[in-house]
Structure 1
Amino acid sequence: MQVQGVDAEAYALARAHKPEHFVLERIVRPNILALEPYRCARDDFQEGVLLDANENALGPAIAPGSAYESLDLHRYPDPSLHAARERATALRGLPHPAYTFLGVGSDEVIDLIQRCFARPGQDKILICPPTYGMYRVSASINDIGVVQVPLVTANGAFQLDTPRVQAALRADPAIRIVFLCSPGNPTGTLIPLRDVQQVLDTPEFAGLVVVDEAYIDFAAEEQALGRKHGTEPVSAVSLVHEYANLVVSQTLSKSFGLAGVRLGLAFAQPPIVQVMNNTKAPYNISSPAAWLASQSLSEEGVARMRENVRTLVDERDRLCRALGAIPAIGAVLGGNDANFVLAQVLDRPRGVPDSQRAAHVYETMARHRGLVVRNRSSELGCAGCLRITIGTAAENDLCIALLTELLA
């Protein structure tokens, strides 16, 4: 049985459909592959006297003059979504909108992938801790097992242990999905694409590789400025043209500054995207979210995003230098390719990571000094670590001053 609704012309635009041993239909849950997708009222007609969807013809109950009055909020969203899908596709250099899925934040993308491609009570995902916690949460909700292959954490490297990942895939055919976070959270470390390709090409693995790139624009901008990463592509989207078993997840929450809009993206070859579109809830993207995303993905919006990313990268580097001058702060771990740093609090007499002291500093700053970071000292390879998001220059100055004071 083939995936219903696949755009064959769009699928043919891919340069290749590697690896040869991968067959998508074998890993889609049978009920998902067989389902008849719900057809929305707006899929057929978007104009005219619309008496087909039980909408409120009198208009939205919002104050006159609202910024969103022109969006016809009393109507269900137009499937065109203000061209947000097309603009995201063009930004990432893919050949057709059929390669792009829009979701309610990256979390919907993560959950939907597990619902579509892993059978409850039978299949498993593989994760590489320390990593983003929603992979495991979603697996628990969907009754999917979790296999862990830790990152190489020595000296704060946080790199993929590719041989162990491949060994785990060979040993356990129940693993259907591999989640790789690049740059990682909470590590901030970019995974080289050669490592991703090795996992994609693993002959014994018939499932999907999902590369979560929530912070990729920070690494890409550093490369564009000639500061890091050479000339090879940093985003796994560059591999979508060739690999039929790859999904790349991104978001507008980080570099684009639209966390409140909840707009996530997935890039993959059209059959995978179509499975996800067949399964998602009708009208999952609201009209305001689509309009705001479209504005942000415009030429002017992308230019502003890159300007903001450059400012945050500069501030991150300044914060790292300032943290290095505080005696009780040890190494700033990870690759520092995102909009945060992972700073290690030390027990000064011994010069070793001190998780108890890190927790005390975190609590004191949050409860008594009005500055909130994240305590990550309980995670693998992160003993004594505080994850600090890069703020404005003034916010970073305050963070530096409080850490200097509390760790004196």
Structure 2
Amino acid sequence: MTIHGLSKSLYPTKPAHFNLESIIRPNILALHPYRCARDDYSEGILLDANENSLGHSIHPGETTKNTELDEIEELDLHRYPSPSHEPIKSRIADIRNLPGPEHVFLGVGSDEVIDLLIRIIVKPGGEEKILITPPTYGMYSVCAQINDVGVVKVPLELEPIHGEGGENGRFSLRVDKVKEAINADPSIKIIFLCSPGNPTGTTITLSSIKQILDCERFKGVVIVDEAYIDFANPSASAASLVSEYANLCVAQTLSKSFGLAAIRLGIAIAHPALIHVLNNAKAPYNISTPTAYLALRALSPESFSLKRNKIAILNASRVKLLQSLSTISAIGAPIGANEANFVMVPVLDKNGKKDTDRALAIYKILAEEKGVVVRFRGKEAGCEACLRITIGTEEENGMVIEKLKEVLAN
């Protein structure tokens, strides 16, 4: 079966053991995508999409200042948005050193990318599966359950490191264990790798990713979730491999390093053939006009430079926060590699042992009595008694330390 609408010249050939048509669900391959009005024409007297020709009805309010909101209100909000957003894709392709915009898909956050990939590849019913490497991002399992597909778990290995700060640990991917799982279960269709990991903050090496991509027994797709890659080393991005591996998809987002969590723009970077299938299956107008407007501004050279400066500030603040946390005796040495915009530390009892119950209590007191909200991850594999703390402003980081000391003193 062929991929509807895909030119034969765009069918992938590398790696040799991977066949895209065999991994995509047959009903998706046969899908004739919905043709929306803007697929054909986007200029002229547009009377084809049943839009409100009188424009939007947002009242201007009391102010007449030319604010950012005013600029958005001046957009053609009564018209359906572009279904393709080529300028955004072209800019992303330039930033990530991709051959062209045909390697880029846009979704409503990376969560839509994750869900859509599962829907087009993995057959519902529980017989076919995804593989995850806990502790990891929880949406992989949530999407799997929603789509009624199985989940195979290959835990990351926490390697203890002993030093002045006490017992530390760095998570590592056991490629041999992943291969064992692949060999034991040919029904695995997708492997999710979070790099840098959430909540581990640890980047997976490109050599480890390539070992899995080169595994001839695995006929599915490897998805590398790089939501935090800009806080680590952007040159370590698996996006550099998509031209070589058609069985790879890299998920990114504007939520983290770009600071645009509210606009919900996610990115998939992959071989044009897989991007084509995603476009066939997506909702017709999944990216709104305001989102596209703000995203394109954020991807300008000037904004990109500002983003780099903020990343440098946050990374420096991460170092200072870790130093401050190390002065609190009831906080253990950080878990993970600290290569994202957060840190994860265990809460200890009076004997210096990890104490999950105490960590949960501290988490609740901080939020409910002290006005400081962190994330409790203490019941996940390898994260015993841990709190995950996002890097805030200098003032916010100082408040975290102050309130932690107050609560732990009792």
1:147 has 2:147 as partner? no
Q: d(CA) in 2 for partners of 1:294 and 1:89? A: 13
1:89 alignment partner in structure 2: 93
1:137 alignment partner in structure 2: 142
Q: d(CA) in 1 for partners of 2:193 and 2:6? A: 26
Q: d(CA) in 1 for partners of 2:180 and 2:389? A: 34
Q: Is the 8 A contact 2:238 2:250 kept in 1?
A: yes
1:46 alignment partner in structure 2: 42
Q: Is the 8 A contact 2:159 2:172 kept in 1?
A: no
1:348 alignment partner in structure 2: 350
Q: Is the 8 A contact 1:32 1:116 kept in 2?
A: yes
Q: Is the 8 A contact 2:349 2:358 kept in 1?
A: yes
Look up the equivalent residue of 2:333 and give its one-letter code.
Answer: A
Q: Is the 8 A contact 1:358 1:375 kept in 2?
A: yes
1:209 alignment partner in structure 2: 222
Look up the equivalent residue of 1:22 and give its one-letter code.
Answer: F
Q: CA deviation at 1:331?
A: 1.1
Q: d(CA) in 1 for partners of 2:222 and 2:386? A: 29
- Equivalent positions of 1:293-332 (< 5 A) are 293-332=295-334
2:178 alignment partner in structure 1: 165
Q: Is the 8 A contact 1:4 1:274 kept in 2?
A: no
Q: d(CA) in 1 for partners of 2:407 and 2:177? A: 41
Cα RMSD after superposing both structures: 1.4
Look up the equivalent residue of 2:182 and give its one-letter code.
Answer: L
Q: CA deviation at 1:248?
A: 0.1
1:113 has 2:117 as partner? yes
- Equivalent positions of 1:18-37 (< 5 A) are 18-37=14-33
Q: CA deviation at 1:86?
A: 1.2
Q: CA deviation at 1:90?
A: 1.1
Which deviations, in whole Å up to 9, do the C-alpha atoms of 1:142-173 show, x marking residues without a partner?
A: 01000000000232221101100011001101
Q: Is the 8 A contact 1:154 1:381 kept in 2?
A: no
2:164 alignment partner in structure 1: none
Q: CA deviation at 1:88?
A: 1.0
Q: Is the 8 A contact 2:86 2:101 kept in 1?
A: no
Q: Is the 8 A contact 1:84 1:291 kept in 2?
A: no
Look up the equivalent residue of 2:339 and give its one-letter code.
Answer: D
Q: d(CA) in 2 for partners of 1:82 and 1:19? A: 28
Q: d(CA) in 2 for partners of 1:134 and 1:25? A: 26
> Gaps spanning 5+ residues in structure 1: where?
222-232
Q: d(CA) in 2 for partners of 1:363 and 1:2? A: 54
Q: Is the 8 A contact 1:179 1:212 kept in 2?
A: yes
Q: Is the 8 A contact 2:228 2:341 kept in 1?
A: yes
Look up the equivalent residue of 2:350 and give its one-letter code.
Answer: R
Give me the TM-score of the superposition, normalised by structure 2.
0.93
Which deviations, in whole Å up to 9, do the C-alpha atoms of 1:225-259 show, x marking residues without a partner?
A: xxxxxxxx310001111001000000000000000
Q: CA deviation at 1:4?
A: 2.3
Q: CA deviation at 1:17?
A: 4.0
Q: Is the 8 A contact 1:210 1:247 kept in 2?
A: yes
Give me the TM-score of the superposition, normalised by structure 1.
0.94
Look up the equivalent residue of 2:146 and give its one-letter code.
Answer: I
1:371 alignment partner in structure 2: 372
Look up the equivalent residue of 1:143 and give its one-letter code.
Answer: D
Aligned length: 392
Q: CA deviation at 1:68?
A: 1.3
1:277 alignment partner in structure 2: 279
| Aligned sequence identity (%) | 56
Look up the equivalent residue of 2:312 and give its one-letter code.
Answer: R
Q: CA deviation at 1:405?
A: 2.0
Q: Is the 8 A contact 1:249 1:265 kept in 2?
A: yes
Deviates most, 387-396 or 212-221:
212-221
Q: CA deviation at 1:81?
A: 2.7
Q: d(CA) in 2 for partners of 1:250 and 1:124? A: 23
Which deviations, in whole Å up to 9, do the C-alpha atoms of 1:291-336 show, x marking residues without a partner?
A: 1111101101111111111010000000001111111111111010
Secondary structure of the 1:154 match is strand
Look up the equivalent residue of 1:127 and give its one-letter code.
Answer: I
> Gaps spanning 5+ residues in structure 2: where?
65-69, 161-168
Q: d(CA) in 1 for partners of 2:14 and 2:380? A: 35
Q: d(CA) in 1 for partners of 2:81 and 2:396? A: 38
The one of 114, 126, 133 equivalent to 1:128 is 133
Q: d(CA) in 1 for partners of 2:20 and 2:230? A: 29
Sort the Cα spacing of 1:29 and 1:130 in 2 relative to 1 into closer, same or farther, 3 A.
same
Q: Is the 8 A contact 1:340 1:388 kept in 2?
A: yes
2:3 alignment partner in structure 1: 3
Look up the equivalent residue of 1:90 and give its one-letter code.
Answer: D
Secondary structure of the 2:232 match is helix
Q: Is the 8 A contact 1:6 1:270 kept in 2?
A: no
Q: CA deviation at 1:82?
A: 6.9
Sort the Cα spacing of 1:344 and 1:125 in 2 relative to 1 into closer, same or farther, 3 A.
same
Q: d(CA) in 2 for partners of 1:140 and 1:67? A: 41
The one of 242, 246, 249 equivalent to 1:247 is 249
Secondary structure of the 1:157 match is strand
1:224 alignment partner in structure 2: none
1:268 alignment partner in structure 2: 270
